Amino acid sequence: MTFVIGEEEKMPIYEYRCRKCEFIFERFQKVNEGGESLTCPVCGEKKPEKILSGFSSSRGTESTSSCGSSGGSSRFS
């Protein structure tokens, strides 16, 4: 999968956590590029752990997905 807007290729931001000092940092990377060559910017430890992160949208509209605010539990509304 490649993210393309207009003529520019966009790279997603990935978050990594150092396995030694637990510092969390971000890197722009191509989708098929791994983190094997990365090192922690604080302690220099190799091969940080890729972590899942949330995302945001600048659309400013309500979600229309099946996991949106309509239906299901109102516990999170």
Encode the chain (77 residues) as per-residue pLDDT tens digits: 444 555 556 778 899 999 999 999 999 888 888 788 899 999 999 999 999 876 655 665 554 444 544 444 444 54
Count up the domains in the chain and report the number: 1
User: Is residue 11 in some structural domain?
Assistant: yes
User: Is residue 56 in some structural domain?
Assistant: no
User: Is residue 59 in some structural domain?
Assistant: no
User: Is residue 7 in some structural domain?
Assistant: yes
Q: Does the model's pTM come out above 0.85?
A: no
Task: Output the pLDDT for position 60.
Answer: 55
- Residue 7 belongs to domain spanning: 3-48
User: Is residue 71 in some structural domain?
Assistant: no
Phi, psi of 24 (to 5 degrees): -105, 130
Helices and strands in the chain, H and E counts: 0, 5
User: Is residue 77 in some structural domain?
Assistant: no
